[in-house]
Amino acid sequence: MTPTDAQIKDWMNKQPQAFRDTPTVRARKIGLWVLLIGLFAWCLYDFNFSPERIWVGLQRLGTVVSFMFPPHLWETWPEWVEVFTALGETVAMAFLGTVLGLIIAFPVSFLGAKNITRIFFLRHTARRGYDIIRAFETLILALIFIRAFGLGPLAGILAIAVSEIGTFGKLFSEALENTSKRPVEGVVASGGSRFQSILYGIMPQVLPVHLSIILYNFESNVRSSTILGIVGAGGIGFMLSDRIAGLFWDQVWTIIFLIIAMVYIVDYLSGLIRTRVIGKWEGAH
């Protein structure tokens, strides 16, 4: 039953298209790979990836990693309080930033939805507004707010809040557009005003979607508020960059593990809220 090598060769010659690409496709594939690999090689040269530099770097990295075990544990209670305050500040930054962004973005998002704002000009101005806000990196916003409000978590909160206005505005208005029209028609048919048709026709459809967007963004803000600390906006990131600057690698690893634990816990809790509230919502229907 097993075909011989000669038979296989014979089939391959009879049906070349089934076994390999046409010459043009092959030439294009090879060209693409050559281009990518050439660019990569040029980068290696341009960025000075010399073997001895990599070797020295790896040795140093080995030293840094060797501080991971045994993990550093602070000895006095005030030091632990300092660490946990910093972790709390990071979560607080993400939480307040999300909530403040939400408070502003929720009403504004109605302007960007096609089925609610029929005025073309207004809708497009709102949409471009969200895009421009989203173009600002949170980190750059934080730098600006640090200039105005000084070092500390407040700058981070405002940076997250502003960048969330753009994100929430876009995602919320897309959620509003993806609703079914039939509940709205039902409310209008029974004599509801336009406001009532939005309140009873559209809102029940979008609230679960909004909630899951909010929770997801909160999770991602917890991650980004860690970074904001590095430029001086308080929280655990500030402490981490301080310890790295002082080359206290043992403390650095402990802080990194605490950050990972914090992200785990926040993700777990928000998953809990998500299943609870959205599950309950579906049960009520």
Partner 1 sequence: MTAAADVTPLRPMDQFELDYSAQRRRAKLGWFIASVLFFAFFAFSAWLGDFFKVTQVTNVDGSREFRWIIPAGLPRLGEFIEKTLPVLRWDSLGADFAGWFWRWKVWLNLLIETVLIAFMATALGVFGGFVMSFPASRNLAPNKWVLWICRRYLEIARTVPELVWALIFVFCFSVGPMAGVLAIGLHTAGALGKLYSEVNENIDMRPLEGVKAAGGTWFDQIRYGAVPQVMPNIISYTLLRFEINVRASSIIGYVGAGGLGQEFREALSLQEYTDLSALFIIIFVTVMVIDYGSEKLRHRVIGLEKGPAT
- Estimate to the nearest angstrom the gap between the alpha carbon of 276 and the chain centroid: 23
Residue 188 token pair: 């209008």
d(CA 59, CA 57): 5
Residue 106's alpha-carbon distances to 63, 70, 99, 124, 167, in angstroms, are 49, 48, 10, 17, 11
Whole-angstrom Cα distance, residue 184 to residue 204? 11
Q: Is the dihedral of CA 97, 98, 103, 109 positive or negative?
A: positive
- Check binding of 30 to partner 1 (CB under 8 A): no
- 140 is a site residue for partner 1 (CB under 8 A): yes
Q: Which is nearer to partner 1, 43 or 122 (CB)?
A: 43
Q: Which is nearer to partner 1, 17 or 189 (CB)?
A: 17
> Is 152 a binder of partner 1 (CB under 8 A)?
yes
Quote the least distance from Cβ 217 to partner 1, whole Å: 16
Alpha-carbon distance of 173 to 266, in angstroms, equals 26
Question: CA-to-CA distance for 69 and 73, rounded, in angstroms?
Answer: 11
Q: How far is the CB of 147 from partner 1 (least distance, A)?
A: 5
Cβ 230 to partner 1, closest distance in Å? 5
- Chain positions contacting partner 1, by CB under 8 A: 36, 39-40, 43-44, 46-49, 53-54, 57-58, 60-61, 64, 85, 88-89, 91-93, 95-96, 99, 135-137, 139-140, 143-145, 147-150, 152-154, 156-157, 223-224, 226-227, 230-231, 234, 237, 240-241, 244, 247, 252, 256, 259-260, 263
